[in-house]
Amino acid sequence: MKSEVLARSFEHKFVDLVLDEVEADGSFTGYASLFGKVDLGKDAVERGAFANSLRSRGAAGIRMLFQHDPGEPIGTWTEIREDARGLFVRGRLARDVKRAREVLSLMRSGALDGLSIGFRTVKARRDPTTGVRRILEADLWEISIVTFPMLPDARIEMVKSGRKRPSRPGSIRDLAERIRQATRMINKRGNAR
């Protein structure tokens, strides 16, 4: 019964992921949470929400899991800190773990690109007008690499191998790629004259 109550009080938030690159050794950086941004569950984590957790646990005390499965640890967090934007993370996949090697391959190919925080809400308030729950303090337990982040536009831009993820039609990345293509075409025409 006690574990059932504990399981119900533990939350998962699939949030924005911005992975700059994945290194050959499985290291990567990104944001596990963006402050003030409302997710699909109508929650917004506020700046300072993780401060007590990080002070008491540190990066070594926060687990890196695959899809929130406690039986699937896949690496370690080497740095977790709050900055002006959100919860910045730096981690390293454990290359001697089979699932971590699979995750690394999927991250490099762009097939897996989400982060999700697992936490217990300590303090929150709901905005009566919008219905948005503002999480003021969260007891952070784990950060998982996941398939579906709560924020749909949370995606990897480029991995260390240099392979770019295909752009979604109509996305900002798609627009930027079309502008680059047009610029290349204009430059080719100008050089051909």
Using CA atoms, how far residue 76 sits from 59, 148, 177, in Å, is 8, 21, 34
Q: What is the phi/psi pair of residue 119, to 5°? A: -155, 170
pLDDT (tens, 9 = 90+) of the chain, 193 residues, equals 444 444 445 566 555 444 555 677 888 888 888 899 888 889 899 999 999 999 999 999 999 999 989 999 999 999 999 999 889 888 899 999 999 999 998 988 878 878 889 999 999 999 999 999 999 999 999 999 988 766 554 443 334 443 444 555 555 555 555 565 665 556 555 555 5
116 is catalytic: yes
Contacts 24+ apart (CB under 8 A), 175-182: none
12 is catalytic: no
Residues 63-92 as b or e (16 or more Cβ within 10 Å = b): bbbbbbeeebbbbebeebebeeebbbbebb
pTM over 0.85: no
**How many Å apart are CA 61 and CA 141, to the nearest integer?**
8
Give the active site residue among 53, 68, 137, 144.
68
User: SS3 for 145?
Assistant: strand
Give the active site residue among 33, 53, 116, 144.
116
105 is catalytic: no
Give the active site residue among 33, 53, 137, 142.
142
